[in-house]
Structure 1
Amino acid sequence: MKLKSHSLSIIHIVLLFNNKLRRKSMDPKDLEIKKLKKEISISSIKQYAFILLFVAEIILIGAVFIDFFNLKNPFSDVSASKKIALLHIDHPITTKYVEHLIKSVEDIKKEKPYKALLVDISSPGGSPTASQEFAAYLKDLNKTMPVTMYVNDMAASGAYYIASAIKPIYANKNAIVGSIGVIMPHYNVSELAQKLGVKEDTITAGKFKQPFSLLKEMTKENKQYIENALLKPTYRNFVEDVAANRGIPKEKIKKFAEGKIYIASMPEIQGILVDKITNLYKLKARLKKQYDDARFVTIGERPTPRNFLHVMMKEALSLLTETFSNAPRQ
């Protein structure tokens, strides 16, 4: 036992001696460099720790700031349960436009936070088919998501078709409503074509295959055909749908369905074409209060074309294309 202890002591002495020799043999410059490296390493660790703490503090302050001002927070969307979608309908009603509007609403339906939809309409109307499509869509939507309808500048013709889908109809006192009727424009440029030496030579099979043309005058028979085959059935559907949507007898609605326009505040249309006169800011304030201080999020916006002429040309072309595509074909 003593021998073992003695041998361990000798080993310990030898190791200490070797360490001293190493220190003596190491160049002082090397020792200085080693010491400097150690200090730099410790300093770097401290700097990294400080940066991490600083970033964490910034994130924490940012999260509190976002939450305080009720903005969208990537970490925790506190305001997510308090949203009302605001949909502006401010273009002529075409099939493509209605598809765009429906897609915009369908996108928000996937998000539970949206509690209601406010429709702000300012449109002169358009395609009866597209108008009926969106009116039917809003009626169905209203069963699962409350929809409020506000007429801003105007809801005429097809736009009123859409507005009638939701009750009550709120409107600005100077808004234009009505224009319940159907129109199909026909332009006769046959005299101009004659002067230019242009003649139409169309081959058809079927008496009414081409009931009208720009290059010839429409016959009485063809006019009657267009009226009976297209205009009257569409008009009948329009009146029946508005009457059903408004909960008013068809005969009562027909008195205001002669294509006339009305100012929303006119006494004779109260409770028939319009229910309540108000302003958009008042309506928004009421809805905000009703849905626990919810914030409005605008959906369905389309880029504004560069100038008025561009708008008119684009929309006229769209409506013209749609008119011809809706014409009866065999």
Structure 2
Amino acid sequence: MFSRRHPYLFFFLISLALFTGLVLGAMALAGWMGSRSGDFSGEAVGVVEIEGAIADSRDILEHIRQFREDEDIKAIVVRIDSPGGAVGPSQEIYREIRKTVDTKKVVASMGAVAASGGYYIACAADGIVANPGTITGSIGVIMGYTNFRQLLDKIGMVPVVIKSGPYKDTGSPTREMREDERELLQSITSGIHEQFVTAIAEGRRMDRAQVAQVADGRIFTGEDAKARGLVDRLGNFEDALAWAGQLGGIDGSVVPVYAREEKLSLLRYLMSSSLSDLISKVVHPGIYAEYRYLPQGR
């Protein structure tokens, strides 16, 4: 048999066939995903979805920009189902929404969770709709890392570090943190927190002192958040869609248009920077700031 006479060639051909099938399947799925928006005529409301941890803002920024420049899109709904994430991407999305509300109405719709960085983004919109049981709030900043010093001492490993300055390895998991390093990181965390409070006060048109009272990291239900002025209306996604249509001047039923994904988006996702981000955190964990809701037990 061919497989016995040429085992290596046989293995190569089988591997090639499997890889080709995977690529073609991914292309087909990506093409299907890319056509979600479909063709439409007339006035519509654009829908931008933000799901999971916020780590990269590029696609979301592009979707918001496309809807902002599309004359047939009369308003935008930003659907948020996220516990938050990295500071930079959250601020970039906030900024893009603030640029958009000058020319087109934007409504934020909260799903199961829209906390920390998810709320940061929502407060940039013209209005916020949350379910009564939505978990939101968690207004604050967190930095964290795991210290392996005691474990290394037990197994007899001695890390060697060569650095150009005293703060270059701040957050090293292999040694105790110095007090001056702790003060530095606390200063950075407090500074970013002040940015968070300022953004909410500006976006929600609230008194800064009022925001500061609830900006201690606590979470709220959507119902409680509305009572505190952090949310405008209670309702589901369809309610947010209808409100956006009204703000955009649409008469009758509202047609939702979802952002079109780029072709081969699945392949790009599989080969994206997510893997490199994971590797970098394993190789050099360090410390990084996040707007993230961390429920107990996680």
- TM-score, structure 2 as length reference: 0.71
- Identify if the C-alpha distance between structure 1 residues 315 and 126 changes in structure 2 by more than 3 Å, giving closer, same or farther: farther
1:205 aligns with 2:164: yes
RMSD: 3.0
How far apart are the structure 1 equivalents of 2:111 and 2:126?
16
Checking the alignment, whether the CA contact within 8 Å between 2:144 and 2:287 is kept in structure 1 is no
How far apart are the structure 2 equivalents of 1:241 and 1:214?
33
Q: Which has the higher helix share?
A: 1
Checking the alignment, whether the CA contact within 8 Å between 2:140 and 2:193 is kept in structure 1 is yes
Secondary structure of residue in 1 paired with 2:153? helix
Deviation at 1:234, TM superposition (A): 0.7
The aligned counterpart of 2:257 is: 297
Checking the alignment, whether the CA contact within 8 Å between 1:126 and 1:319 is kept in structure 2 is no
AA partner of residue 85 (structure 1) = G
Which digits, 9 at most, give the CA deviation of each residue in 1:147-200, with x for residues without a partner? Answer: 111111121111111111113211111101111111111211112222333221
- Identify if the C-alpha distance between structure 1 residues 189 and 324 changes in structure 2 by more than 3 Å, giving closer, same or farther: closer
Checking the alignment, whether the CA contact within 8 Å between 1:117 and 1:148 is kept in structure 2 is yes
Which digits, 9 at most, give the CA deviation of each residue in 1:52-107, with x for residues without a partner? Answer: xxxxxxxxxxxxxxxxxxx84xxxxxx5222211111112112x2x1110112333
Secondary structure of residue in 2 paired with 1:80? coil
How far apart are the structure 2 equivalents of 1:212 and 1:82?
52
Q: How many residues align?
A: 240
- Identify if the C-alpha distance between structure 1 residues 87 and 252 changes in structure 2 by more than 3 Å, giving closer, same or farther: same
- Identify if the C-alpha distance between structure 1 residues 194 and 88 changes in structure 2 by more than 3 Å, giving closer, same or farther: same
- Identify if the C-alpha distance between structure 1 residues 200 and 129 changes in structure 2 by more than 3 Å, giving closer, same or farther: same
The aligned counterpart of 1:272 is: 229
- Identify if the C-alpha distance between structure 1 residues 294 and 100 changes in structure 2 by more than 3 Å, giving closer, same or farther: same
How far apart are the structure 1 equivalents of 2:121 and 2:163?
38
Identity, in percent, stands at 26
The aligned counterpart of 2:45 is: 84
How far apart are the structure 2 equivalents of 1:254 and 1:190?
37
The aligned counterpart of 1:244 is: 202
Match of 1:317 among 272, 278, 288: 278
Checking the alignment, whether the CA contact within 8 Å between 1:150 and 1:170 is kept in structure 2 is yes
AA partner of residue 61 (structure 2) = I
- Identify if the C-alpha distance between structure 1 residues 325 and 211 changes in structure 2 by more than 3 Å, giving closer, same or farther: closer
Highest RCO, 1 vs 2 (Cα 8 Å, sep ≥ 6): 2
Checking the alignment, whether the CA contact within 8 Å between 1:88 and 1:301 is kept in structure 2 is no
Instruction: Find runs of 4+ consecutive structure 1 residues off by over 4 angstroms.
Output: 286-290, 300-305, 313-316, 318-327
Which digits, 9 at most, give the CA deviation of each residue in 1:194-243, with x for residues without a partner? Answer: 23332211122333222221111212232112111x21111111111111
Checking the alignment, whether the CA contact within 8 Å between 1:171 and 1:277 is kept in structure 2 is yes
- Identify if the C-alpha distance between structure 1 residues 225 and 153 changes in structure 2 by more than 3 Å, giving closer, same or farther: same
* Unaligned segments of structure 1, at least 5 residues: 1-70, 73-78, 306-312
How far apart are the structure 2 equivalents of 1:323 and 1:169?
36
The aligned counterpart of 2:240 is: 283
The aligned counterpart of 1:18 is: none
Secondary structure of residue in 1 paired with 2:229? coil
The aligned counterpart of 1:145 is: 104
- TM-score, structure 1 as length reference: 0.65
How far apart are the structure 2 equivalents of 1:158 and 1:315?
22
- Identify if the C-alpha distance between structure 1 residues 158 and 256 changes in structure 2 by more than 3 Å, giving closer, same or farther: same
* Unaligned segments of structure 2, at least 5 residues: 1-37, 268-273, 290-298
Deviation at 1:323, TM superposition (A): 8.3
Secondary structure of residue in 2 paired with 1:166? coil
Deviation at 1:110, TM superposition (A): 4.5
How far apart are the structure 1 equivalents of 2:281 and 2:219?
23
- 1:215-234 matches, cutoff 5 A: 215-228=174-187, 230-234=188-192
Deviation at 1:301, TM superposition (A): 5.8
Secondary structure of residue in 1 paired with 2:45? strand
Which stretch has the larger CA shift, 122-131 or 313-322?
Answer: 313-322
How far apart are the structure 1 equivalents of 2:276 and 2:53?
7
Q: Which has the higher strand share?
A: 2
AA partner of residue 89 (structure 1) = I
- Identify if the C-alpha distance between structure 1 residues 287 and 169 changes in structure 2 by more than 3 Å, giving closer, same or farther: closer
- Identify if the C-alpha distance between structure 1 residues 194 and 271 changes in structure 2 by more than 3 Å, giving closer, same or farther: closer
1:257 aligns with 2:218: no
- Identify if the C-alpha distance between structure 1 residues 221 and 232 changes in structure 2 by more than 3 Å, giving closer, same or farther: same
The aligned counterpart of 1:194 is: 153
